[in-house]
C-alpha cells in the first residue's frame, strides 16, 4: 500500500527565513503533486512534478522530485506571512487514486 | 471559484441519520473523486468515478455509497451516521480517468462540512 509521509507536520517560522518541507513516499511513482490549503478552504494545486529531477518554481516556493530516493521537497525562500497555510504532497497510487501526505501546517510570523 | 461545485456547504444532523452530498465536476472533466478530511485521519480517498463507472475504491465504509450520473454529477450517500463521520468531505474532478498519459491534476471543490451530533 502506498504511503506518503511529510515532515515536519508543523512548522513555525519567521518572515524572511528559508525552510524545506520533505515528502517521502513508499512505492515507485514519477508523478508527485503539491497542494496548498488555507484554513477552512479547499485545496489548490501548486506544482506537478512528472519526472526524476523535475524542479518547478513559483515565487518563493520551489519544488523538486527525486524518484530514486522517493523524495520530494518544497523549499520556501524568504518566507512571507501570505505563505501561511497547510501544504500537502500527493502521489499517484494504483489506478487513479491520489494518496496524500498528512500535510504540513506552516505558520509564518512577522 | 474552482469550477467544482459542492452542496451543501454545511450540514448538521443527528446520529443514525442519512445525508446526501452532491458534486458537479468542472466542465469537461469526466472523473470525480471523493475525499474525507478529518483532524485525526487527514485526507482519505474514498472513491473515484469515471464517466459513470466506479474506477477506484479507497477506505470507504459500507455505510457510504456513491454514484455518478449521466450528466457527470456525483452524489455521496452517508447512512447510519456516527459521531466519527463528522468531517469535511471534498469532491474533486479531473479530465483523466483511464490510462494516464501525463499529469492528473485534481481540482477540488470547496467541500461539505458535515457535523453529526
Give, as one character, the DSSP assignment of residue B26: P
Q: Which string of DSSP letters, residue by residue, matches B104-116?
A: ---EE---EEEEE
Contact A95 B48 (CB under 8 A): yes
Residues of B in contact with A35 (CB under 8 A): 108
Give me B17's grid cell: 441519520
B104 interfacial to chain A (CB closer than 8 Å): yes
First to last CA, chain B: 30
A110 interfacial to chain B (CB closer than 8 Å): no
Residue partners of B2: CB distance under 8 A and separation at least 6: A42, A44, B26, B107, B108, B109, B110
Phi, psi of A82 (to 5 degrees): -60, -15
Contact A95 B102 (CB under 8 A): no
pLDDT of residue A73: 97
Under 8 Å between Cβ of A5 and A90: no
| Residue B62 zone, left/alpha/beta (φ > 0; ψ -120 to 50; rest) | alpha
A13 interfacial to chain B (CB closer than 8 Å): no
CA-angle at A92, arms to A86 and A93, nearest 5°: 115
pLDDT in tens, B33-42: 999 999 877 8
B38 interfacial to chain A (CB closer than 8 Å): no
Q: Which residue ranges of chain A lie beneath pLDDT 50? A: none
B70 interfacial to chain A (CB closer than 8 Å): no
Contact A97 B48 (CB under 8 A): yes
pLDDT in tens, A90-99: 998 766 578 8
Q: Is B23 exposed, middle or buried (0-12, 13-18, 19+ CB in 10 A)?
A: buried
pLDDT in tens, B21-77: 999 999 999 999 999 999 877 899 999 999 999 988 888 999 999 999 999 999 999
Give me A32's grid cell: 508527485
pLDDT of residue A27: 84
Amino acid at each position: 500500500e502506498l504511503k506518503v509521509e511529510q515532515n515536519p507536520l508543523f512548522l513555525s517560522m519567521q518572515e524572511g527565513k528559508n525552510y524545506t518541507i520533505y515528502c517521502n513516499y513508499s512505492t515507485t511513482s514519477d508523478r508527485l503533486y503539491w497542494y496548498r490549503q488555507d484554513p477552512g478552504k479547499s485545496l489548490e494545486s501548486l506544482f506537478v512534478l512528472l519526472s526524476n529531477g523535475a524542479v518547478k518554481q513559483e515565487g518563493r516556493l520551489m519544488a523538486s522530485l527525486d524518484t530514486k530516493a522517493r523524495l520530494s521537497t518544497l523549499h520556501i525562500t524568504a518566507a512571507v506571512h501570505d505563505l501561511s497555510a497547510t501544504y500537502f504532497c500527493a502521489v499517484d497510487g494504483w489506478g487513479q487514486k491520489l494518496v496524500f501526505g498528512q500535510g504540513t501546517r506552516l505558520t509564518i510570523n512577522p | 471559484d474552482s469550477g467544482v461545485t459542492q452542496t451543501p456547504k454545511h450540514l448538521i444532523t443527528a446520529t443514525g441519520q442519512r445525508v446526501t452530498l452532491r458534486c458537479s465536476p468542472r466542465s469537461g472533466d469526466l472523473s470525480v473523486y471523493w475525499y474525507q478530511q478529518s483532524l485525526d485521519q487527514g485526507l482519505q480517498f474514498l472513491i473515484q468515478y469515471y464517466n459513470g463507472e466506479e474506477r477506484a475504491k479507497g477506505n470507504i465504509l459500507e455505510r457510504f455509497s456513491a454514484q455518478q450520473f449521466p450528466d457527470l454529477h456525483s452524489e455521496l450517500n452517508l447512512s447510519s451516521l456516527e459521531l466519527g463521520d463528522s468531517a469535511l468531505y471534498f469532491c474533486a474532478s479531473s479530465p483523466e480517468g483511464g490510462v494516464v498519459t501525463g499529469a492528473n491534476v485534481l481540482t477540488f471543490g470547496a467541500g461539505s462540512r458535515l457535523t453529526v451530533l
